[in-house]
Amino acid sequence: MATTPSPNTGTQPSAPYDFANFPRAGFFRRIGAIVYDSLVVVAVLMFAAGIALALVAGLNAIGLLTLAEGADHASVLENNWLYRIYLIAVLLWFYGGFWVRGGQTLGMRAWRLRVQNHDGSTLSWRQASIRFLTAVLGLSNLGVLFSRDNLAWQDRAAKCEVVLLSVEANRSITWKKRK
């Protein structure tokens, strides 16, 4: 493949890969990516929780929120539906942002996986949201074990697929929005 010099990265492919021609990923690679991503997700959720706790502490400090006697800032967030929606939104932003941009989370990149439409294009936010909401914390990947075409239940719901990339194609992906 011809390459052209780039001021930022040295060389990069002059034409994008045709991602529609890669085989679909199997169950164990998907699970490997989920395990890898779970480490990152824990860190992202800890950071998001820290922001929420800081907000509660700030509201308490300026007098807009009063804590009960003996209560701490975390008690405000316990069983709070708004806090739960916030954490789900953070997770959707994390997964959806990666899927919409380059089609890969960090774990998917490490395992050379890419989620995409059947024509090789990246997902829309609508598809990413459907895929996220139907993934059932990754359990719907069990559908791959019972599928002749290696599609998980969330892939069917969002009308997309997860493919196994070559090393070269995996290196070519950036997290910039593809058209």
Over residues 21-62, the pLDDT tens digits come to 899 999 999 999 999 999 999 999 999 999 999 999 999 889
CB 122 within 8 A of CB 102: yes
> What is the distance, to the nearest Å, from the Cα of residue 54 to the centroid of all Cα atoms in its chain?
25
Please say if the pLDDT value at position 97 is more than 80: yes
What is the identity of the amino acid at 67? L
Token digits of residue 72: 């701490």
What is the percentage of the chain residues whose pLDDT exceeds 90? 71
| 3-state SS, residue 175 | coil
Token digits of residue 6: 């780039």
Distance CA 63, CA 37 (A): 39
Catalogue the E-assigned strands of the chain.
Answer: 3-6, 10-13, 113-116, 161-164
Q: How confident is the model at residue 83 (pLDDT cuts 50, 70, 90)?
A: very high
| 3-state SS, residue 5 | strand
Mean pLDDT of the chain: 88
At 147 the pLDDT is 93
Distance CA 90, CA 132 (A): 12
